[in-house]
Amino acid sequence: MGFIDKIKEKARQDKKTIILPESMDRRTFEAAEKILKEEIADLIIIGTTEQIEENSKGLDISKATIINPFTYEKTQQYIDLFVELRKSKGMTPELAKETILNDYAYYGCLMIKSGDADGMVSGACHSTANTLRPCLQIIKTKPGTKLVSAFFLMEVPDCEYGENGTFVFGDCGLNQNPNPEELAAIAISSAESFKMLVGKEPKVAMLSHSSKGSAKHADVDKVVEAVKLAKEMAPELELDGELQTDAAIVPSVGASKAPDSKVAGKANVLIFPDLDAGNIGYKLVQRLAKAEAYGPMTQGIAKPVNDLSRGCSSDDIVGVVAITAVQCQNN
């Protein structure tokens, strides 16, 4: 059984209610049909009658709950909540109504904040910023979390590295150039996400173009400092760096470049030094190794809201919904 099949099985054991706000995209309904048929989650789809009918033609979504925000009985309640949450930022009833009726991601986040749903998946036809801004404004960060970050769950076929080809890559979707404190926080959150989703012990490698002092540069210094901070914050965590990617995942290279490391050659959580490296890295693995890339998944938000790549397929949406449901179980 592959990783995503195990996640789907977990999701079925305690079904959660996930919102799909992108009723303007056919892929939403193709995914919804599969999710409902496989009983992965209960679904709420937000949209007008016209949007639903136009984009779901020929698909069976009869088990989904359809919410038309223009007519739903709780819309005024959500408007009032939005005003209360954002009144210090100048939110008015008129602006709140206009915002949530024109951007269903805001509407979905207000439903979650009200306890009417457990999580949300969006981003098939919206940017990461448009997906995450509403949840940061409405749902906000998890208590004790210093930083919201993003990761990809990578499943590489026929791969002996990582956890039988399964990795968490972070941060590949949100934080542009994290400082050492932020990089340490990303590492700890990513380790927690790996353990929750994969069920195995994380081994975290802080990646660099240098392994254990082989190069000298301010960029290397940043990773070295992040390693120090992460070890102070989570001393029980198996974490090491700075490591080049081959030293992190290939046992023979790890033994050569970092012989005293407990992580080198065994890493299953890879932390990239900045967003450029993370985005380039996950897309190379996805395209050249034909890996499944689920994400960017968020970590550090009080309730799970996850992003999609705008190039995603309906099957990608199914996978991210399943992962989101499992995150909701563990929330």
Q: What is the pLDDT of residues 272-320, one digit of tens each?
A: 999 999 999 999 999 999 998 887 888 988 999 998 877 788 898 999 9
DSSP character at residue 211: S
Q: What are phi and psi of 118, to 5 degrees?
A: -100, -30
In sequence order, what are the residues at sequence separation of 6 or more whose Cβ sits closer than 8 angstroms to the Cβ of residue 193?
A: 151, 168, 170, 297, 299
Query: CA-CA distance, 197 to 223, in Å (whole number)?
Result: 26
Q: Indicate the length of the chain as a whole number.
A: 331
Query: Percent of the chain at pLDDT above 70?
Result: 100
Query: CA-CA distance, 85 to 101, in Å (whole number)?
Result: 17
Burial 209-245 (b: 16+ CB within 10 A, else e): ebbbeeeeeeebebbbbbbebbbeebeebbbbbbbbb
Query: CA-CA distance, 263 to 293, in Å (whole number)?
Result: 23
Q: Share the mean pLDDT of the chain.
A: 92
> Tell me: the pLDDT tens digits for 159-209?
999 999 999 999 998 899 999 999 999 999 999 999 988 989 999 999 999
Lateral strand order in the sheet of 269-271: 238-243, 203-207, 269-271, 166-170, 149-155, 292-299
**Ramachandran assignment for 107, one of left (phi > 0), alpha (psi -120 to 50 degrees), beta (any other):** alpha
Strand partners of residue 301: 141
Beta strand 149-155 with 292-299: parallel, antiparallel or unpaired?
antiparallel
Query: CA-CA distance, 243 to 265, in Å (whole number)?
Result: 10
More confident position, 143 or 183: 183
Q: Looking at residues 126-143, what average pLDDT do you find?
A: 84
Map tokens 């934080």 to a residue: 175
In sequence order, what are the residues at sequence separation of 6 or more whose Cβ sits closer than 8 angstroms to the Cβ of residue 220?
A: 208, 209, 210, 213, 242
pLDDT value at 1 more than 70: no
pTM: 0.84
> Tell me: the pLDDT tens digits for 24-45?
989 999 999 999 999 999 999 9
Looking at residue 252, its pLDDT comes to: 96
DSSP-based three-state secondary structure for 295: strand
Q: Looking at residues 85-108, what average pLDDT do you find?
A: 93
In sequence order, what are the residues at sequence separation of 6 or more whose Cβ sits closer than 8 angstroms to the Cβ of residue 321?
A: 18, 20, 31, 35, 40, 41, 43, 121
Q: Looking at residues 98-112, what average pLDDT do you find?
A: 94
